[in-house]
Chains A and B, each alone.
Chain A
Amino acid sequence: MKGLNQLNKGLLRSYLSLVLLGLCYLLLIVPFTGYMHSKPFIEKLGHLPRVEVFQFVAADQKQLVSASLVMKVMMYFGGLMEQNQVKYKLPPDYPAMSRIIHGSVKLDPYNMDAYYLAQAFLVWDIGAYKIANDLLAYGMKYRTWDWYLPFFAGFNSAYFLKDYESAAKYYQMAADLSGQPMFSTLAGRYMHKSGQTVLALSYLSAMEKSEKNKAIKKSYSIRLQALQAVRTIEVARDSYLEATGRQPASVEELARSGHLVKIPADPYGGKFFFEVEGRVSTTSEFTFGKPGK
């Protein structure tokens, strides 16, 4: 009887401590989750070992490690899209993102997600066109069947690098691989300066439509909004030029003269202005987290 009592007491004590600890866990989990959630992205992206280390440790799981590295960057990028970007304190760690992506294609040079994600942020957010095209060229050596890579590289060459010779070469590759003759005429069609925005708009709306990933889709749609705003200002600028025979001094002047109904907002939080040669630009440089905005 005494032994039974002791056993019951022991059991009761165990239950009690379980309940107490459970309560402690509940109390702790809210601030803990809050802390983890608010942790700066740079810490979350973390510092990764060199790719050679990965190559050894990954053993026969290189494709898995490569995919998880891309996911890491993807989550980070998705997090950036969710944040209120204009109030964003730390600038996004693009060099780290680029480093991780480059490491992941060393592990699995066939990983399309890596090239796709790199194209999304390398060219549009940091203007690393050359790095992006080198990465795409590396991918083309492996993904010999994929028309997306030369399509991306062709666009980068034409739109950003103004290297029409390479653009034509890449578009031809994309045309040969996809069997879509559209690409072969793309390079030549929009190369006039006034056509640049139209080229970007058609590229971005195609990309945005086909995108399933929410974060990437959002990044494209913001970019698209910005370029649509640029296009609106360009159209107003051209009609102003036609009417007055001179370039407008500022975007505000377009609004005052009635050529622009309303000055469109820059979704990146910047202000539109004319560059010396009349090109429409913005103080945000079409990216979030630019200092001195």
Chain B
Amino acid sequence: MFNIMSITLKGIFRDRVFHGILVVAFILPLIPVISTLSMRQVTELSITLSLSLISFILLLLAVFLGGTALWKDIERRYTYSVLSLPITRSSYLLGRFFGNALFMLITATLLGCVAAVVVWLVASGSPPDRQVVWMNFFLAVFFDAMKYILLVAVAVLFSTVSSSFFLPIFGTISAFLVGSSSQQVYDYVNSQPAQTLSLLTRKTASSLYYVLPNFSAFDLKVNAIYGLPLSLKGLFLTVVYGLVYGGIVLALSSVIFAKKEMK
């Protein structure tokens, strides 16, 4: 499994998609200039832009690298040669996943450090009303990375279901959009104005909420930007949620992948 993991990691660094996406990171040094457009919250805007950019890059990586990892192998018929080696299909799958996950963590750490320097520069140029809470900033980057690792797990699941290119890519994007707003929908159907909706609609929405990944829990941008306090219990629950949900998705993927017929 570790072999597959390191091969995956090396493969990604050589991947052209990765190089293309990395070009987006060159926007980071431009952030101080764009931030001066703000009237009253220059530093806050620089944090918003940095975190948004990191999040966007990680999303692209999760969708295009996570979503195509297995598909490429199957398409290029690498899977046959690999699976003829004495490794189980699950360790191959998990190796691919953890290679991607590790890569996401490395990228997030690097981008987070560069962004921190950018924000620090902006903050020393135009001091904000409230001090930047660096702990929140780094936690926001870390939780963002966790969120996209979870998305990679979802992408892997889609890849095992379908060998085509479209389902992993578009399925992952849809899962991301729906997973980012499932909390909002859940809050709405449980609010007073939504009581006029039919019971079936409300129950369906609630059940979907439990089945779909909840990505909004990992979004700590607002806490990082405005220095709002974080709940330790909430962070702990979110981490455990990520681990358990990710575990379920991977276990399911392993089962499907093990039963999959390879032509």
Contacts and interface: CB of A to CB of B under 8 A. Distances in A.
Contacts of B52: 61, 63-64
A112 B180 contact: no
A174 B39 CA distance: 20
B48 interface: yes
A145 interface: yes
A59 interface: yes
Interface in A130-168: 143, 145-146, 148
Given A61-B52, A61-B55, A64-B49, A113 B222 contact: no
Contact of A116 (B40, B129, B147): B40
A110 B39 contact: no
A146 B39 contact: no
Contacts, number: 65
B232 interface: no
A76 to B, nearest CB: 13
Contact of A63 (B180, B216, B225): B225
Interface string A48-74: 000000011101111110010001001
Given A61-B52, A64-B49, A110-B226, A116 B39 contact: yes
Interface residues of B, number: 30
Contact of B177 (A59, A108, A145): A59
Nearest to B53: A64
Interface residues on chain A, size class: 20 to 34
A112 B56 contact: no
B89 interface: no
B177 A113 contact: no
Nearest to A120: B39
A239 B147 CA distance: 71
Given A112-B40, A113-B39, A212-B39, A55 B48 contact: no
A212 B49 CA distance: 20
Nearest to A60: B219
B211 interface: no
Contacts of A57: 177
Contacts of A55: 181, 184
Interface in A89-120: 108, 110-113, 116-117
7 contacts: A61-B52, A63-B52, A110-B222, A112-B40, A113-B39, A146-B129, A148-B40
